[in-house]
Amino acid sequence: MKKTILYSILILFISIAGNAQKNNELAGAWEMTYQLFTTADTTVERTEFLHPSIKVLSTGYFSYCAESGRGHTGKYYYDGKTYTEVVKYGYNAEMVGQTNDFKSKLEDGEWHISGTIILNEREVKLAEKWKRID
């Protein structure tokens, strides 16, 4: 019985450590270099930005801000394939409390994410590329 409990605790710690290790792959500062923004009636593709966007990630928290003054922050989770943001504070009250899952891939110094968020009561599909800047 004691061995079973000990093994269960050990597996839990290994799982937590593995998740922290994956989060460390993303830890740092990132600048958006590409965005594809799609709603039911609009598609916007950007490769040049009038207002640069930066995302800073620690081991479990993120902060996103754009020169335009828009931004949001909260916790994130990353398992190597899925990046999940849980928004705690944001410029748009509708985003606060949202949990957004994104497919995620690190490749050649770029971070690619894609997924769906709700913005202004509309479903928005996003595809983004980020370049590590720190």
Q: First and final CA of the chain: distance in angstroms?
A: 48
CATH class name, domain 2-132:
mainly beta
pLDDT digit string, tens, across residues 81-103: 999 999 999 988 889 999 999 99
- What residue type is 68 in one-letter code? S
Evaluate if residue 5 carries a pLDDT over 90: no
How far is 101 from 14, CA to CA, in rounded Å? 23
How far is 3 from 13, CA to CA, in rounded Å? 15
The predicted model scores a pTM of 0.79
